[in-house]
Amino acid sequence: MENLNRIKVVLVEQNKTGKWLAERLGKDRSTVSKWCSNKIQPDLATLSKIAGLLNVDIRELLNKSM
């Protein structure tokens, strides 16, 4: 499966953890872990919330298609 999102990369760049993100979103840590490993993808509304929490443009959370 292709890596669609860069959530893990951006978290690492900002010295934040999946646990931190899960707590801010009110989500289970295992769900955030699956997003970070690209096993599942968050919906667009959640992706927008993640971008807001990380203070980045939502496009920075997505891998560019070839």
DSSP string, the chain: ----B-HHHHHHHTT--HHHHHHHHT--HHHHHHHHTTSS---HHHHHHHHHHHTS-GGGGBPPP-
At the topology level of CATH, where does 7-55 sit?
434 Repressor (Amino-terminal Domain) (1.10.260)
pLDDT over threshold 80, residue 2: no
Domain residue spans in the chain? 7-55
Pair of tokens at residue 38: 């690209």
pLDDT over threshold 80, residue 7: yes
Q: What is the pLDDT of residue 37?
A: 96
Residue-wise pLDDT for 13-66, tens only, equals 999 999 999 999 999 999 999 999 999 999 999 999 999 999 999 999 999 864
Q: What is the pLDDT of residue 65?
A: 67
